[in-house]
């Protein structure tokens, strides 16, 4: 029996190998993101920046960190940018700066990456999950309104997949109920929001914005990195202090903080890559346009929506397919096309939380979404190959 199982697995593996040999040469490298291809195009600049840091040995708080914070602030048109170790830390530092007390409630979307909810619980605050908008995947303002109680202190929207949550609506709810708004902008750095009298870059509209430079994000470094942004001078001071052991002056600790720094090496890389951010965004948008033109013709597939109030920078290109999504994923995988399910479980249903509630949209999304490969280096041949394979699957 054991042998039989082994043989079966072996056969499956060899079929896969055979299949990959049949793949067109240019399709063998289809990846969700192509970090190496992106690096090669700016290799001399990056290598020089890295060597400078190594030669100077200023690995912690070197001049490149301050320089990057200033460059990003000017790109985003925000007063303060404070580097930190990663996006999850940024969220934690932001929440710590609000001086909330145990069991204060923070409203956040049910459909997202876990980090957002996780830091709320970690700080002994209470995450209140609300359902999202089925077309934009972002937190639905009507649901936020319904979730407000006397204990609500903050709203933590996520700008998911490359577009902004509806900030004007969220800000007006926040104003009405005297709440903080913390933006999780790990996926949409560079996106622009514009509705009525509220406009600006994602992450600069609420009280504090948080972002991540995880390698696969739209602006990624070569390891972990993150940043906070705010237009509020007092909050900026507090955020820097919390990220630095609660100290404004070294060895004089005013409050309990954490140790969360953006490495000089990462800042040096980000300084180079920030110059290309607009180009990277354009490349992603071009790839998305191609997908949407082709896949938009297929009745069975719902392509991503760009709302009027935000542009879309396509950190992910996420389609919805109400048929057998897992069969489509498997078929694409056998054709050498990687895809990802962002996200397979609604946050309220994660083992770590296990709360109950009414989340029909979020639940439906976890069963129907599929993110296709999208990155700055994708070729028309690759995009066309992915679309051909989806068409073939649907026609069978």
Ligand X SMILES: *Cc1c(COP(=O)(O)O)cnc(C)c1O
Site membership for ligand X, residue 88 (CB under 6 A): yes
CA distances in angstroms from 387 to 63, 120, 324, 332, 381, listed in the order given: 46, 40, 17, 10, 10
Figure out which of the listed residues 116, 143, 335, 366 binds ligand X, where binding follows CB under 6 A. 116
Figure out which of the listed residues 87, 141, 203, 336 binds ligand X, where binding follows CB under 6 A. 87
Q: List the x/- string, 14-53, binding to ligand X by CB under 6 A.
A: ----------------------------------------
Lookup: tokens for 168: 């004007």
Considering CB under 6 A, how many residues would be counted as binding ligand X? 15
Residue 386's contacts (CB-CB under 8 Å, 6 or more residues apart) are: 30, 291, 332, 337, 372, 373
Residue 261's contacts (CB-CB under 8 Å, 6 or more residues apart) are: 60, 61, 65, 83, 84, 85, 243, 244
Minimal distance, residue 78 CB to ligand X, in Å = 19
Stretch touching ligand X by CB under 6 A, among 81-89, 126-134, 327-335, 368-376: 81-89
CA distances in angstroms from 287 to 26, 265, 284, 296, 374, listed in the order given: 16, 30, 5, 14, 7
Do you find a cis peptide bond into 343, omega within 30 degrees of 0?
yes
Minimal distance, residue 158 CB to ligand X, in Å = 5
Helix (H) or strand (E) holding 105: strand 105-109
Site membership for ligand X, residue 214 (CB under 6 A): yes
φ, ψ dihedrals at 207, nearest 5°: -70, -45
Site membership for ligand X, residue 112 (CB under 6 A): yes
φ, ψ dihedrals at 341, nearest 5°: -100, 100
Site membership for ligand X, residue 132 (CB under 6 A): no
CA 98, CA 113: separation in Å to the nearest integer?
22
Minimal distance, residue 260 CB to ligand X, in Å = 10
Figure out which of the listed residues 94, 100, 108, 113 binds ligand X, where binding follows CB under 6 A. 113
Minimum CB distance to ligand X smaller for 158 or for 313: 158
Site membership for ligand X, residue 98 (CB under 6 A): no
CB closest to ligand X, residue no: 87
| Interface contacts to ligand X, rule CB under 6 A | 86-88, 112-113, 115-116, 158, 184, 186-187, 212, 214, 224, 226
């Amino acid at each position: 029996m054991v042998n039989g199982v082994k043989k079966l697995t072996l056969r499956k593996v060899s079929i896969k190998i055979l299949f990959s040999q049949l793949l067109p040469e240019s399709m063998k490298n289809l990846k969700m993101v192509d970090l190496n291809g992106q690096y090669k195009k700016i290799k001399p600049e990056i290598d020089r920046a890295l060597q400078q840091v190594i030669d100077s040995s200023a690995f912690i708080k070197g001049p490149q960190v301050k320089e990057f914070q200033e460059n990003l602030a000017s790109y985003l048109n925000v007063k303060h940018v404070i580097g930190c170790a990663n996006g999850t830390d940024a969220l934690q530092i932001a929440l710590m700066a609000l001086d909330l007390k145990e069991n204060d409630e923070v409203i956040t979307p049910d459909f997202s990456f876990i980090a957002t909810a996780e830091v709320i619980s970690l700080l002994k605050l209470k995450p209140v999950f609300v359902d999202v908008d089925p077309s934009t995947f972002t937190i639905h303002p009507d649901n936020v309104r319904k979730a407000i109680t006397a204990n609500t202190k903050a709203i933590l929207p996520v700008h998911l997949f490359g577009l902004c949550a509806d900030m004007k609506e969220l800000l007006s709810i926040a104003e009405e109920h005297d709440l903080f708004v913390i933006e999780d902008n790990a996926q949409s750095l560079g996106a622009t929001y514009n509705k009525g009298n509220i406009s600006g870059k994602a992450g600069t509209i609420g009280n504090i914005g948080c972002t991540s430079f995880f390698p696969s994000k739209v602006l990624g470094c070569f390891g972990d990195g993150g940043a906070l942004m705010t237009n509020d001078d007092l909050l900026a001071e507090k955020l820097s202090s919390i990220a630095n052991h609660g100290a404004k002056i070294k060895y004089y600790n005013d409050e309990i903080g954490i140790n969360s720094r953006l490495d000089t090496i990462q800042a040096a890389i980000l300084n180079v890559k920030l110059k290309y951010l607009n180009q990277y965004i354009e490349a992603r948008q071009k790839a998305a346009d191609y997908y949407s033109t082709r896949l938009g013709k297929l009745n069975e597939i719902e392509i991503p929506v760009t709302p009027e109030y935000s542009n879309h920078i396509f950190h992910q290109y996420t389609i919805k397919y109400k048929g057998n999504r897992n069969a489509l994923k498997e078929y694409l995988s056998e054709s050498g096309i990687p895809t990802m399910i962002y996200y397979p479980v609604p946050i309220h249903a994660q083992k770590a939380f296990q709360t109950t509630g009414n989340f029909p949209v979020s639940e439906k999304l976890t069963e129907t979404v599929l993110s296709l490969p999208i990155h700055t280096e994708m070729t028309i041949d690759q995009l066309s190959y992915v679309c051909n394979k989806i068409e073939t699957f649907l026609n069978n």
